Chains A and B, each alone.
Chain A
Amino acid sequence: MNFKDNKAIYLQIADRIGDQILAGTLTPDGKVPSVRELAAEIEVNANTVARTYDHLQQNGIIYTKRGLGYFVSPDAREKIVNLRRQQLMQGEMDYFLGQLKAVGITPDELRQLYSDYLNK
């Protein structure tokens, strides 16, 4: 794993698990690797991974079964999509729109670009 991004490591790991859920590598009600397994796999401190799992649990993306470990919530996919939408709107979108304005791209041009992109 590469930590180039300047997001806190525990959030980067949360993104990675989110990606795996969206890609279907981790399935609803499927087991998530234990804290220690994942820590050793990605060479990150176990307490950092534990923090990731707390964060995912608070967002309803994973849940625990006592003594059995962590599992993917049935509606994890929707929750991740919603969270990412929010993040996109608050973060990157603002920057992106600013850039569009700076180089003078009109709403019509943007509409055209986006529909071309979707049809690609």
Chain B
Amino acid sequence: MITINDISFSYDKRNGDLFHDFTLELNAGNVYGLLGKNGAGKSTLIYLMTGLLTPTSGEVQIDGVNVRRRLPKTMSDLFLVPEEFELPNLSLKKYVSINSPFYPNFSMVDMQRYLDIFELGGDLNVKLNALSMGQKKKVFMAFAFATNTRVLIMDEPTNGLDIPSKSQFRKLVTAGMTDDKLMLISTHQVRDISSILDHVVIIDQSQVLLNAGMADVNARLAFRPQREGDQPIYSQQSAMGTLVAVPAEDGEETAVDLEMLFNATLQAPETINNLFTAQK
């Protein structure tokens, strides 16, 4: 559905390319988690994917159309929730009536349902600038989900959300997801989203270090307390003793620990790459 084809990009040519011949394919029906260290280029990649930045070479296509052309049929089926944003000084009702016509599949019923999930259901006449930062984020996300665009991209969506809203956010994703949609969530808060992902993409220094389905991670890697004779790819100390990421034995299936997966991938990218490209 989204094809990132050999793109290169730099903010400042003197510092070299941030992305160089970068290629990635994302398919409908999946919730992707995009993980990377600070400065790895996650937000830049998102802006390139949504047509807000132009690659110096290569292109990003959604359903075969270059997003940089910003055709109405592309933009009306694409929604970006950036990490930081401003909302105009309007009532929620007015905001919806001005912005929803850009999205042919927008549903007021869905909007109401998502506001209810966030416990913001009551008052559509509420002024947007009277809301707290977290509330603004929730209202904006409810709108984003209600547009029913097939592509929904969110940059750090759980930043600034309080503890109950993180669970509500997961509910929004699982309730709003369908087989023809693609969601991409870029985040550092991996514990917030681990259970809702289909697929994880880890990038570093403009390389895709890992691009794997969660079921595949399940089958290839185990996350558990260390046993005698283990040759861990990655290990860390915890209150329960040493926890390790090791190649899974046949039939061994543990819950995926995204934090350990991330650290393992950054620490031993080649080992991880070999493990995931081997026949299984």
Contacts and interface: CB of A to CB of B under 8 A. Distances in A.
Interface residues of B, number: 22
A53 to B, nearest CB: 14
Interface stretch (A7-15, A75-83, A96-104, A109-117): A7-15
Nearest to A4: B255
B214 A7 contact: no
Interface stretch (A18-26, A39-47, A56-64, A66-74): A39-47
A40 B174 contact: yes
B255 A45 contact: no
A17 B279 CA distance: 33
Contacts of A46: 174, 177
Contacts of B195: 1, 3, 9, 43-45, 48
B254 interface: yes
Contacts of B167: 43
A48 B193 CA distance: 14
A13 to B, nearest CB: 10
Interface string B166-182: 01001100110100000
B166 to A, nearest CB: 10
Given A45-B196, A48-B214, A39 B255 contact: no
A101 to B, nearest CB: 18
Interface in B195-211: 195-198
A27 B268 CA distance: 49
Contact of B198 (A9, A40, A43, A45): A45
B223 A51 contact: no
B175 A45 contact: no
A39 B174 contact: yes
Nearest to B196: A45
Given A43-B196, A44-B195, A8 B171 contact: no
B31 A8 contact: no
Contact of A44 (B174, B218, B254): B174
A5 interface: yes
Contact of B174 (A3, A11, A12, A45): A45
Contacts of B174: 36, 39-40, 43-46
Contacts of B175: 36, 39-40
Interface of B: 29, 31, 167, 170-171, 174-175, 177, 194-198, 214-215, 218, 223-224, 253-256
